[in-house]
Amino acid sequence: MNIIFIEPSFPDNQKEFVRGLHETGATVIGVGERPQEHLSDEVKAYLSFYVQVQSVVHEPTLLKAVQKIQNKVWVDRLEATVEAHIMAAASVREAADIPGTSVRTAYLCRDKPAMKEVLRKAGIPCAASTRANDPATIRDFAQQLGYPLIIKPPSGAGAAGIWKVGNAQELERIIIEAGIADGVEVAIEEFIEGHEGYLDTLTINGEVVHEFITHYYPNVLVAMRERWISPQMVTTNRIEAEGYSEVRKMARDVNRVLGIGTSATHMEWFAGPKGLKFSEIGCRPPGVGQWDVYNAANEFDIYLEWACALTHGHPKNAPSRRYSAGMIALRPACDGHITGYSGLEAIQEAYGECIVASHFPGAGSATQAVEDGYMANAWMRVRHPDYDTLRQIMDTIGQTVKVHAA
């Protein structure tokens, strides 16, 4: 099978997807923006050949490169796993008559107002929402629904560019800051109170073959705004528990309504006073290296599972569910440059066997802003067979390890 993979080198874990494809026996053709001589030897070993383009999100450029490849070999699949690449890949896929995620599905998984409109019509509970590019529409929505509200880019990812609006005065300020007064389009929606988590699937021909549930502590909007917090994402090995049946059904319903075929998905949800609510979904894997957390928790290779789904149409191995596993982000007390760490020795001595990966930038490294995400600055991945014990360990890490900066 010949598979084109978009951008095999960046971000760094992209190489794991091409490794998985290579290990299934697929012929992997890379298309990316960096010169071939700048690819790592590891990535080069996985690729049969490589085509450099100026931009992988400029559809005419990408289509031209794909058609050039098709003139040489038959292309069975065209795959992308980065959110920003999904729409361009789908458009080129359809133009080049290559099987895979459709433009409709990619669009609905990218555009939040359209996504929620389709799902609400299908009976899936979502926050009230609309799109707007003028102050009048924003004000009317706020008057009808009340506060708090959330304003964000229609096709954003993560917590980037999101505002929580608590009152009319804040709304007027954000209308200016977000560019709405100048015609910038945004999504505006009801703020959902409750616990936030996500459910990731690997789906083959519309059927979920692997799934994982992860909890945020605290919710993302808080975690990406408050420096003092060491936020956690923790995946459970209790997925068969009765309390998860509703969100698991929701994920399958969402995948069905949006036309997910053979793809990874990443679905965010809230559970609170108004019940379980869908938040958003991407037809791609989760970010921040979360698949590596799933590998550590389940003693298998999710990248290879994804590749087998594409090349063979079935999974290879079952997840062990032996461990719960999580990632904790560790922030410096201020922006500047890392000067050192404290508490690491104590944590290593107490929980070394539970720590599966970590990243601690060296002294002198520039810090990154809190809003840059969970993998900015330092982080640790940890696992334990018992979910509650794991939570206690991660809390202790957050309280003990200090990142010093000046």
| Residue pLDDT, tens place only, 174-215 | 999 888 988 999 999 999 999 999 999 999 999 999 999 999
Question: What is the structure's pLDDT at 159?
Answer: 54
CATH architecture of 128-190: 2-Layer Sandwich (3.30)
Strands 27-32 vs 2-6: parallel, antiparallel or unpaired = parallel
pLDDT tens digits for range 347-369: 999 999 999 999 999 999 999 99
- Segments making up each domain of the chain, as ranges: 2-100, 128-190, 195-405
Cβ-proximal residues to 104 (8 Å cutoff; 6+ apart), any chain: 259
State the average pLDDT over residues 167-172.
Answer: 94
Q: To which CATH superfamily is domain 195-405 assigned?
A: ATP-grasp fold, B domain (3.30.470.20)
* 5 pLDDT more than 60: yes
2-100 belongs to CATH 3.30.70.1450: no
Predicted local distance difference test score (pLDDT) of residue 157: 56
In the prediction, which pLDDT does 371 show? 87
Q: What percent of the chain has pLDDT over 90?
A: 90
